[in-house]
């Protein structure tokens, strides 16, 4: 049985999601999606803005897996040209689906500037009521953005998808704590940044020493990436990653069953991480 986290609306979400943004944005993802599903992925993360929802849907169909076995997310663009409902209907048509498991507001930036955050959230709540999205949530929201929609919300966002890794833990931890208190699950993206985007940083020796201990204990090789993902799992944070290689997907999937990191290892990862702030995605939100 693979690990799932509970959402505040009573549904469950697989801890690991396969992303179709970043390196896959604008590309034909059908083959990657089929490989991911055949390797054991059941959670797929898409977005209107990734411009590949058609081939995401194609990959799902070609995999032959039953719809109800999958958890599928897509996101409302930051500057949609249609109403929120029409935008989701367009996404569903492209995906070839009747509903998504999770629909997210991709970014608060534009709606916040135009004073439309509350109105967008009301429209999101309607979509959930109509069953077009089983769960609804947000992405790239700071505490300030969340507080605005929570003032009038009848549905608390199920998730907030943000950049989380040790090099942004100084700011991400504040959003994480607020969301924990409100029972909003955090989904992390960019989680492998310390090893894929800025390798050689102060975190590497700590990741290497934890990986060596876990390798000894589990009897099979554990990578630095798995240590980063294990850190997130132990915080009950969903991990979004991507790879066209079945071997890397297999490795990622096996992370949940590794022995736990110790409290000292977790503390060392966070202490070293916050010494070296490096943000890769949420600059448009935080203006850093």
Ligand X SMILES: O=CCc1c[nH]c2ccccc12
Residues lying near ligand X in the complex (CB under 6 A) are found at 21, 47, 49-50, 78, 106-107, 281
Kindly report the number of other CB atoms within 10 A of residue 257's CB atom: 9
3-state SS, residue 103: strand
Q: Which of 21, 30, 191 shows the shortest CA–CA distance to 106?
A: 21
Of residues 55 and 131, the one with the C-beta less far from ligand NAI: 55
Residue from 50, 103, 176, 189 carrying the catalytic annotation: 50
Q: Of the listed pieces 14-22, 53-61, 141-149, 208-216, which binds ligand NAI according to CB under 6 A?
A: 14-22
Question: Is 50 part of the annotated catalytic residue set?
Answer: yes
Asked if 160 interacts with ligand NAI (CB under 6 A), we say no
Cβ-proximal residue to ligand X, closest one: 49
Phi-psi region of 27 (alpha: psi -120 to 50; beta: other; left: phi over 0): beta
Asked if 254 interacts with ligand NAI (CB under 6 A), we say no
Least gap, CB of 109 to ligand X (angstroms): 8
Least gap, CB of 104 to ligand X (angstroms): 10
Helices and strands in the chain, H and E counts: 13, 10
Of residues 107 and 229, the one with the C-beta less far from ligand X: 107
Phi-psi region of 268 (alpha: psi -120 to 50; beta: other; left: phi over 0): alpha
Residue 287 has, within 13 A of its CA and on its CB side, a CA count of 1
- Binds ligand NAI by CB under 6 A, chosen from 237, 241, 255, 268: 241
Asked if 255 interacts with ligand NAI (CB under 6 A), we say no
Residue 106 is assigned to a ligand binding site = yes
- Contact in structure between 90 and 64 (CB atoms under 8 Å): no
Q: Could you say which of ligand NAI, ligand X, none residue 191 binds, taking C-beta under 5 to 8 angstroms by partner kind?
A: ligand NAI
Q: Tokens 């009848």 identify what position?
A: 154
Rounded to a whole number, what is the distance in angstroms from the first to the last CA of the chain?
Answer: 41
- Which positions lie near ligand NAI, rule CB under 6 A? 19-24, 45, 106, 139-140, 161, 189-193, 196, 223, 225, 240-243, 248, 251, 281
Binding residues for substrate: 106
| Residues designated as active site | 50
């Amino acid at each position: 049985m693979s690990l799932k986290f509970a959402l505040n609306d009573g549904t469950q979400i697989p801890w690991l999601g396969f992303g179709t943004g970043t390196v896959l944005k604008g590309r034909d993802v059908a083959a990657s999606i089929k490989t991911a599903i055949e390797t054991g992925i059941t959670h797929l993360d898409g977005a209107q803005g990734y411009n590949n929802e058609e081939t995401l849907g194609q990959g799902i169909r070609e995999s032959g897996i039953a719809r109800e076995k999958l958890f599928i997310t897509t996101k409302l663009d930051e500057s949609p040209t249609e109403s929120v409902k029409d935008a989701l209907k367009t996404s569903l048509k492209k995906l070839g689906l009747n509903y998504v498991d999770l629909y997210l507001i991709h970014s608060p930036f534009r709606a916040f500037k135009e004073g439309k955050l509350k109105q967008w959230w009301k429209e999101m709540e309607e979509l959930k009521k109509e069953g077009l999205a089983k769960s609804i949530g947000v992405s790239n929201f700071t505490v300030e953005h969340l507080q605005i929609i929570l003032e009038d919300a009848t549905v608390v966002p199920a998730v907030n998808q943000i950049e989380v890794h040790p090099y942004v833990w100084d700011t991400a931890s504040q959003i994480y704590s607020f969301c924990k208190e409100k029972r909003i699950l955090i989904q992390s993206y960019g989680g492998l940044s310390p090893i894929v985007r800025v390798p050689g940083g102060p975190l590497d020796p700590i990741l290497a020493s934890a990986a060596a201990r876990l390798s000894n204990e589990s009897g099979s090789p554990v990578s630095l990436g798995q240590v980063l993902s294990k850190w997130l799992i132990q915080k009950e944070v969903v991990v979004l990653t991507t790879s066209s290689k079945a071997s890397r997907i297999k490795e990622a999937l096996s992370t949940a069953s590794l022995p736990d990191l110790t409290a000292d290892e977790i503390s060392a990862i966070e202490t070293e991480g916050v010494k070296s702030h490096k943000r890769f995605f949420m600059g448009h939100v935080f203006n850093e």
